[in-house]
Chain A
Amino acid sequence: MFDVLKTPEDRKAFQEQVSVADKGIHSFLELDATKKECKNPSGPLAFIPFGVKDNIAVEGFHLTCASKILENFVSPYNATAVEKLEAAGGIVVGKTNMDEFGMGSSTDFSAFGGTNNPWNKECVTGGSSGGSAAAVAAGLVPVALGSDTGGSIRQPAAFCGVYGLKPTYGAVSRYGLVAYASSLDVIGVLSKDLDLTEKVFNVIKGQDWHDQTSIAYPSEPAKPVKGRLSFTYLEGDLGLSPEIEKGYKALIQAIKDKGFEIKGVQVPSLEYVIPVYYTIATAEASANLARYNGIRYGHRSKEGETPMDLMEKSRNEGFGDEVKLRILLGTYVLRSGFQDQYYIKAQKIRTKIIDDFKNIFSSSDIFVAPAFPSQAFKHGNAGLTPYQQKVADKFTVTANLTGMPALSIPVGVENGLPVGMQLFANYCSENLLFDAARELSDVFPVADAPEAL
């Protein structure tokens, strides 16, 4: 099936075909199918072309994070996840577009121009892994790596009609993932092929000495708490668009029709996830992004008169507005005397949310929720304001705050745009997510975008 990269001629042809097809989409920031060889022709991922989000290090490729401040930065090393992909025979063919440093839900906050949704080019792909989602939806690559800090894999997967896995925090090494919010960040997989998504996850997971927050993933698959998969869903008015409302109901109905147990729950702590998420994420980001100062690498201002001045000007010129906003917010919540009020309080609520979800998963396996309250919105002013976008992250950020895995699945197409839902599970229960998605895949088969390759 994936023989497209076997010979140098194949690669050249692939390169030409994909670069042409990507012209109207702009999912890749860098595309070069000739750079990497297959390192394991008999490996489980032999010759499979990969797109990799541009905040994940691939030796010899740029690592811009879609930011001007890293515009010319070429990675001297491989992320552990990339190292494992290559060892399994996969071939990285390019780096995909994203919101700058992963901060956004549209990919329009890329310093190098946004990405168009392959279903409707007037619409965004979602974000921040919008390039990876679009590349997969448009059939440019069978699979791509993304990263998820607050929904950055699952929301664009939903917008583009593909599967998107956010693994358990620590299941996949973060070494080589440019940090946005270290306690929330995780590398994951986007693909139209559920089996391939699972296969890639199984290749990239595992403890890594480079990342002391990585975990020893259990070798035994998780078992359903009641012997057979059981589900929960969110009750009440969730503020969904009609299309999403319809999709959510259809999903719940499909689960019932298949004869699985499903019950409604209320999770009051969900009301707090947005402020908690933005407090923790921006606090960590304010420190994580402090290293970009134009001294050792990256954009350097021509104006600096003293070392301190040089750093200030380089940062001012190099970062986009959304990134500056989040750095300022993070600096604000961490300032001396206010930590109890913001950062520490947010951590306490986070613990409460974790308890709530542990409780849910003590009696059921899968929690289903929308990925986003609406379908893909339009670019620019016709779409959602940055504030509306942040508030709408409430269904996704929860999994990052708890560290539990979640899988975005397509559940149909409405008005020419995909509808996506999420499945959540307990820690290290990715296998249950895949099992559940497989059960539902005949009801909700993956649809191809209009001009997909």
Chain B
Amino acid sequence: MIESFIGLEIHIQLLTKTKVFCNCKNEFTHVPNSHVCPVCMGYPGVLPVLNEEAVRKAYIVCRAMNCHLNEKAVFDRKNYFYPDMPKNYQISQFNSPFGVKGLIEMDGMPKVRIHDAHLEEDAGKLVHEGMTSYCDYNRAGTPLLEIVTEPDFKKPEEAELFMQNFRKMVRYLGVCDGNMEEGSMRCDVNVSVNFEGKGLGRKVEVKNLNSFRHVKLALQYEIQRQSRMITAGESVVQETRLWNDEKKRTEGMRSKENANDYRYFPEPDLPPYCPTKEFLAQIDAAQVELPWVRKKRFIDEYGLNEDGAEFLTEEKDKADFFENAVKGGISVANAASWMRGEVAKDLNKAKKSLCDSFLTVEKFVTVIKLLEAEKINAQAAKKVMDIIINEDADPMQVIEKNNLMQTADSGEVEAMVEKLLAENTKVVAQIKGGDQKPIGFLIGQLMKVSGGKADPKKARELILNKISQLG
């Protein structure tokens, strides 16, 4: 039997207003070299100035991962030459990073130990066009937090699931948008195989993984490749490989690119960072219930099924919305089904997320409460929901304006039914003849003439009664 060992190195770009060591804007732009200054361009004589917001967000993540927080965190220079690195060294943390020895526990997953989490600066981008290479330094100096796990995963699927949950976590914490396609979250994997009981094998690092799928595919490929090798008595070369998504395989890099000695030493331009008690209290205050914990609680506390809990805890906004709606006095079943159904559908159509739509918990609760009290019917509720998602409108006014209150005057509806039956004698005859199918048509017509005010549940009964009364 062959065992595999997988560790992850996850980079997240922190959501800060400015870059980590200068005042340039930390935001994506298509205009090359427009968010740059002498500091992030590595001009002669400039010095880095540490961005407190980046530090705060980095510590929030460290705390969420139960890391031990070093009393004195030290920045180091990681030396290597590459044209997109303005200083040809990266300011990072090596011996004494912000957080070490963390632990993440999720259901259905082995415990994942966090080796460390360290703050560093991103590099620029090199764009090759034909024989020319262009440098864009907009990204240079973007704050990056690198999280390194121990090789605690056994299966590619576990690594993939962890990544998905990790992404949710950083979004819950509001520190990173988690967009893998745009590179604001990136992942390298370390993988080794060995015969069972023999411990770790020789480690291969795989880079260039731009989606959760790539992570899984690359791991599957590597485990197969390495397993074949050791089974055949060959030894695996310790190296860095790149995922080639077109060919669906990993490929070795040229040996020169592999031969880096980073020559770490403490960054003399930045004093060590020593978090104060007040700062750490702020970090504690910024903690939130983590998505996988919340999901489990939703299942236990609200009796939701796995899918429902998964959907509702996908984003913190959504989970908060749900819980506040239930607190607002509507049933769990209605809150969950309406959020998963109509609200999700309307938001999707409007290409909006919950937080940037006009829907508020109060409005949602108002509508669902009217529905639960049978003041409006489901069709009317859907109509109102659609409007209050897309417009800044008051649900009560929408209902009044569109005359959507279910009419309490049964006499009025009865009159409508009588009129309808008189106008559709053929259909009535059909029903009398025992064919129940056209009754749906009549219900539809009734809803139409009543402007949705008739209760569809009661309509069927009423129509059948009237037909039987016709004798």
Contact A291 to B86, CB < 8 A, known contacts A182-B269, A283-B265, A339-B265 = yes
A293 to chain B, nearest CB (A): 6
Interface set, chain A 291-315, CB cutoff 8 A to B? 291-293, 295-297, 307-308, 310-311
User: Are B265 and A291 in touch, CB under 8 angstroms?
Assistant: no
**Given contact pairs A283-B265, A296-B86, A311-B81, a sample of 8 additional A-B residue pairs in the complex whose CB atoms are under 8 Å apart:** A57-B44, A65-B44, A175-B45, A181-B268, A212-B47, A296-B135, A308-B83, A343-B265
Q: CA A70 – CA B79 in complex, angstroms? A: 21
Q: Once bound together, how far apart are the Cα atoms of A63 and B44, in whole Å?
A: 8
B35: chain A residues within 8 A (beta carbon): none
Are B269 and A213 in contact (CB-based, < 8 A)? Answer: yes
B229 at the interface (CB under 8 A from A): no
Q: Are B45 and A178 in contact (CB under 8 A)?
A: yes
Contacts of B206 in A (CB 8 A): none
When the two chains form the complex, which single residue of A63, A210, A287 contacts B77, counting CB atoms closer than 8 Å?
Answer: A287
Q: Which residues of A contact B49 (CB under 8 A)?
A: 209-210, 212
Give the secondary structure class of A's interface: loop
A331 touches B263 (CB 8 A): yes
Q: If the complex has contacts A290-B79, A308-B81, are A70 and B44 also in contact, measured as CB distance less than 8 A?
A: yes
Minimum Cβ distance to chain B for residue A129 (Å): 16
* Min CB gap B419→A, angstroms: 81
- Please tell me if the beta carbons of B265 and A212 are within 8 angstroms of each other in the complex: no
In the complex, the answer to whether B87 meets A290 with C-beta atoms within 8 Å is: yes
Find A57's partner among B45, B50, B77, B82 (CB 8 Å cutoff).
Answer: B45
Given A286-B79, A336-B261, residue A212 in contact with residue B269 (CB < 8 A): yes
A264 to B367, CA, bound (A): 91
Question: What are the interface flags for A34-70 relative to B under an 8 Å C-beta threshold, 1 for contact and 0 otherwise?
Answer: 0000000000000000000001110000010100001
B45 partner residues in chain A, CB cutoff 8 A: 55-57, 63, 75, 79, 175-179
Min CB distance B128 to A, Å, is: 9
Which of chain A's residues have a CB closer than 8 A to the CB of B48?
Answer: 212
Within 8 A of A (CB), among B76-91: 77, 79, 81-83, 86-89
Partner of B47, one of A70, A175, A295: A175
Do A291 and B135 touch (CB < 8 A)?
no
In the complex the two chains form, what is the Cα distance from A57 to B270 in whole Å? 21
Q: Which residues of A contact B86 (CB under 8 A)?
A: 291, 296
Q: In the complex the two chains form, is A76's CB within 8 Å of B38's CB?
A: yes
A residues with CB within 8 A of B: 55-57, 63, 65, 70, 73, 75-77, 79, 174-179, 181-183, 209-213, 283-284, 286-287, 290-293, 295-297, 307-308, 310-311, 331, 334-336, 339, 343
Q: Is there an interface contact between A175 and B43, defined as CB atoms closer than 8 Å? A: no
Is B133 in the interface zone, CB < 8 Å from A? yes
The answer to whether B44 touches A73 (Cβ under 8 A) is: yes
Residues of B within 8 A of A174 (CB): 47
Which residues in A have their C-beta under 8 angstroms from that of B261? 335-336
User: Closest approach, in angstroms, between the C-beta of A119 and any C-beta of chain B?
Assistant: 32
Interface residues of B in 115-166 (CB under 8 A from A): 126, 133, 135, 137
Q: Is B46 in the interface zone, CB < 8 Å from A?
A: yes
Q: How far is the CA of A343 from the CA of B95 in the complex (A)?
A: 15
Give which listed residue, B44, B47, B79, B83, contacts A211 with CB less than 8 A: B47
Q: Mark B246-275, 1 if CB is under 8 A from A, else 0.
A: 000000000000000111110011110000
* Complex contact B50–A212 (CB within 8 A): yes
The smallest C-beta distance from A433 to any residue of chain B, in angstroms, reads 25
- Give which listed residue, B41, B88, B263, contacts A336 with CB less than 8 A: B263
The closest CB in chain A to the CB of B80 belongs to A290
Chain B residues, Cβ within 8 Å of A209 = 49
- Which 3 A-B residue pairings sit nearest by Cβ, starting from the closest? A290-B88, A182-B268, A334-B263
Bound-state CA distance A79–B46 (Å) is 9
Please tell me if the beta carbons of A290 and B81 are within 8 angstroms of each other in the complex. yes
Q: Say whether B135 contacts A295, CB under 8 Å.
A: yes
Residue on B nearest A290 in the bound complex, by CB: B88
Write out, one digit per residue, whether chain B residues 27-51 have a CB within 8 A of any chain A CB (1) or not (0).
0000000000010011111111110
In the complex, what residues of A have CB within 8 A of residue B38's CB? 76-77
B212 to chain A, nearest CB (A): 32
Q: How many residues of B contact A (CB 8 A)?
A: 33
In the complex, the chain A residue whose C-beta lies closest to that of B77 is: A287
Which of B50, B79, B87 is in CB contact (< 8 Å) with A334? B79
User: Shortest beta-carbon distance, B167 to chain A, in Å?
Assistant: 33
Return chain B residues, CB-CB under 8 Å to A212. Answer: 47-50, 269-271
CB nearest to B137 among chain A residues:
A296
Q: A293 to B89, Cβ gap below 8 A? A: no
Cβ-defined partner of A76 (8 Å) among B43, B79, B269, B271: B43
B79–A295 touching, CB < 8 Å? no
Contact A284 B135 (CB under 8 A): no
Q: Is A307 a contact of B263 with CB atoms below 8 Å?
A: no
11 pairs from A and B in contact (CB 8 Å cutoff)? A57-B44, A70-B44, A75-B45, A176-B45, A181-B268, A284-B265, A287-B88, A290-B87, A296-B42, A296-B43, A308-B82
Question: Are B43 and A297 neighbours in the complex by a CB distance under 8 Å?
Answer: yes
Residues of chain A lying within 8 A (CB to CB) of residue B263: 286-287, 331, 334-336
| Most-contacted residue by chain A among B41, B49, B88, B135 (CB, 10 A) | B88
Least Cβ–Cβ distance between A344 and chain B, in angstroms? 9
Distance A387 CA – B131 CA, assembled complex (angstroms): 45
Asked whether B271 lies within 8 Å of A287 as measured between CB atoms, the reply is no
A307 touches B47 (CB 8 A): no
Report yes or no: B126 in contact with A307, Cβ–Cβ below 8 A: yes
**Listed residue (B38, B77, B265) with the most chain A CB atoms within 10 angstroms of its CB:** B265
- Taking CB atoms, residues of chain A closer than 8 Å to B47 are 174-175, 210-213
**Structural contact, B126 and A213, CB atoms closer than 8 A:** no
In chain B, positions 164-196 with a C-beta closer than 8 Å to chain A are none
Q: Residue on B with the closest CB to A305?
A: B131
Q: Are the C-beta atoms of A291 and B268 separated by less than 8 Å?
A: no
Cα separation A329 to B88 with both chains bound (whole Å)? 18
Closest to A208 in B: B47
Q: How distant is the Cα of A1 from the Cα of B77 in the complex, in angstroms?
A: 48
Instruction: Look across to chain A and name the residue whose beta carbon is closest to the beta carbon of B257.
Output: A308
Interfacial chain B residues near A311, Cβ < 8 Å: 81, 83
Check A178–B88 contact: CB distance below 8 A.
no
Q: Which of B263, B269, B271 has the most chain A CB atoms closer than 10 A to its own CB?
A: B263
Closest to B269 in A: A182
Q: What's the minimum C-beta distance from B396 to chain A, rounded to whole angstroms?
A: 54
**Are A287's CB and B79's CB within 8 A?**
yes
Nearest Cβ on chain A to B142's Cβ, whole angstroms: 18
Q: Report how far A119 CA is from B47 CA in the complex, Å.
A: 38
Q: In the complex, what residues of A have CB within 8 A of residue B87's CB?
A: 287, 290-291
A293 surroundings in chain B (CB, below 8 A)? 81, 83, 88
Q: A179-B45, A295-B135 are in contact. Are A213 and B271 (CB under 8 A)?
A: yes
A210 / chain B contacts, CB cutoff of 8 Å = 47, 49
In Å, the complex CA distance between A210 and B37 comes to: 13
B41: chain A residues within 8 A (beta carbon): 296
Measured between alpha carbons, how far is A211 from B41 in the docked complex, in Å?
17
Known: A183-B268, A212-B271, A339-B265. A178 touches B44 (CB 8 A): yes
Q: In the docked arrangement, what's the CA distance between A1 and B34, Å?
A: 47
B262 contacts across to A, CB distance below 8 A: 336
Interface core residue of B44, B48, B87, B89 (most chain A CB under 10 Å): B44
Q: How far, in angstroms, from A355 to B133 measured CA to CA in the complex?
A: 52
